[in-house]
């Protein structure tokens, strides 16, 4: 290849590779795909960091197209940042860098090889020798910059929490009753307020304006669950409760809750430990929803779009347990798993623990 053409070829290769990653993030990526070093050092939350990353990559693409004599510096800089992020991932033994999501596995060292080769080719091509008139011109960069900033803001709406309504029959006094156990029904819809548990703490009729409130069925594409804020809150005032589908089970008073994903290796190991514990002590977990004073177990599974029967690692589940799920979001939930916490007799969340550590 002629030397004068080499800078254009190198810029084109780097630009197309960067654009491919930016478009994936824009249309189908998730803030959960961000490498951990980026999340830890970003002054913003996962969602805003994700939008900023897309905007930066689009802006670099625009600068390369319009002013390549400056664009190569930005392109080389962003590949250098990629390499700096990939090094600790490779040294930490991560199986995938997450650059193209969880469904495309690319080892950090493989991505380092690609990014490093593109950076080496770019520098070898001596793009600083490009003529000043190369590219579309500086004025053309403004539309690219506007698109780079506005597109992620318009496409990726800030996540909103669905309307939270405490299920009927779920009250803090529920396990204290000695009646027919209606208040601890895993599917609490239609509980009788005249039962003994209801007489212990009758919440009374809801005000008219609350009766008119309907849950928001439109789920966000992504939501960052903040487990650090749960301690000391009523469970039904937490962000995770707003998404919980309790049609098959319920988070009851005096419960131990484990939040897990079926594709999570650490989740699998922890659930198997709980299963073995239940085998050794059949009375470890209450099978009456905690009404007898024992602690009940709640398994809260985060459903993901990639879940299949083949990738389900968590087939061995401890029993008896309440089964609660979080519906799949397009871009997922921003939380690491497994997480465990206790819900006391007054529904206060205690002892929130990240079980990865």
- Nearest partner of 203 among 215, 193, 190, judged by Cα: 193
pLDDT for res 205 = 43
Domain region containing 113: 3-155
341 part of a folded domain: yes
pLDDT for res 200 = 37
Instruction: Indicate the number of domains in the chain.
Output: 2
pLDDT for res 176 = 38
CB 270 within 8 A of CB 261: no
Which residue ranges in the chain fall short of pLDDT 70? 1-4, 102-103, 164-217, 288-293
Domain closes at, from 121, 155, 189: 155
pLDDT for res 97 = 84
SS3 annotation, the chain: CCHHHHHHHHHHHHHHHHHHHHHHHHHHCCHHHCCHHHHHHCCCCHHHHHHHHHHHHHHHHHHHHHCHHHHHHHHHHHHHHHHHHHHHHHHCCCCCCCCCCCCCCCCHHHHHHHHHHHHHHHHHCCHHHCCCCCCCCHHHHHHHHHHHHHHHHHHCCCCCCCCCCCCCCCCCCHHHCCCCCHHHCCCCCCCCCCCHHHHHCCCCCCCHHHHCCCCCCCCCCEECCCHHHCCCCEHHHCHHHHHCECCCCCCCCCEEEEEECCCCHHHHHHHHHHHHHHHHCCCCCCCCCCCCCCCEEEEEEECCCCCCCCCCCCCCCCCCCEEEEECCCCCEECCCCCEEEEECCCCEEEEEEECCC
Q: Looking at the structure, tell me whether residues 107 and 247 fall in a common domain.
A: no
Q: Looking at the structure, tell me whether residues 139 and 40 fall in a common domain.
A: yes
Q: Looking at the structure, tell me whether residues 222 and 108 fall in a common domain.
A: no
Domain closes at, from 137, 155, 173: 155
Half-sphere exposure of 205 (CA within 13 A, CB side): 5
Measured CA to CA in angstroms, residue 244 lies from 95, 107, 124, 331 at distances of 31, 34, 54, 17
210 part of a folded domain: no
pLDDT for res 8 = 93
pLDDT for res 170 = 64
Q: Looking at the structure, tell me whether residues 107 and 239 fall in a common domain.
A: no
Q: Looking at the structure, tell me whether residues 102 and 234 fall in a common domain.
A: no
Q: Looking at the structure, tell me whether residues 247 and 350 fall in a common domain.
A: yes
pLDDT for res 269 = 96
Q: Please tell me the pTM assigned to this model.
A: 0.72
pLDDT for res 179 = 38
Q: What CATH number does residue 337 fall under?
A: 3.40.30
């Amino acid at each position: 290849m002629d030397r004068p053409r080499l800078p254009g070829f190198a810029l084109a290769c780097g630009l197309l590779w960067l654009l491919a990653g930016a478009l994936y993030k824009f249309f189908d990526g998730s803030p959960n795909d961000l490498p951990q070093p980026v999340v830890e050092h970003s002054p913003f939350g996962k969602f805003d960091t994700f939008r900023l990353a897309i905007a930066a990559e689009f802006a670099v693409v625009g600068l390369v197209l319009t002013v390549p004599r400056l664009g190569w510096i930005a392109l080389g800089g962003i590949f250098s940042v990629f390499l700096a992020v990939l090094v600790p991932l490779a040294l930490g033994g991560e199986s995938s860098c997450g650059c193209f999501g969880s469904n495309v596995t690319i080892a950090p060292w493989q991505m380092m090889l690609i990014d490093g080769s593109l950076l080496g080719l770019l520098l070898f091509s001596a793009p600083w020798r490009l003529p000043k008139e190369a590219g579309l011109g500086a004025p053309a960069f403004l539309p690219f910059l506007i698109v780079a900033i506005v597109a992620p803001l318009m496409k990726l709406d800030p996540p909103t929490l669905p309307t939270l309504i405490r299920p009927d029959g779920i009250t803090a006094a529920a396990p204290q009753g000695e009646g027919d156990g209606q208040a601890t029904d895993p599917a609490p819809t239609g509980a009788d307020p005249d039962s003994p548990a209801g007489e212990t703490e009758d919440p009374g009729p809801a005000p008219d304006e609350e009766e008119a409130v309907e849950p928001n069925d439109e789920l966000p594409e992504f939501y960052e669950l903040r487990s650090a804020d749960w301690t000391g809150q009523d469970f039904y005032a937490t962000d995770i409760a707003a998404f919980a589908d309790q049609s098959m089970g319920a988070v009851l008073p005096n419960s131990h809750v484990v939040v897990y994903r079926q594709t999570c290796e650490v989740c699998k190991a922890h659930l198997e430990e709980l299963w073995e514990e239940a085998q050794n002590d059949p009375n470890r977990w209450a099978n009456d929803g905690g009404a007898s004073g024992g602690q009940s177990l709640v398994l809260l599974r985060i459903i993901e779009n990639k879940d299949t029967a083949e990738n389900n690692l968590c087939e061995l589940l401890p029993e008896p347990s309440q089964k609660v799920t979080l519906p799949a979001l397009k871009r997922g939930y921003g939380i690491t798993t497994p997480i465990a916490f206790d819900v006391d007799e007054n529904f206060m969340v205690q002892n929130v623990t990240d079980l990865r550590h």
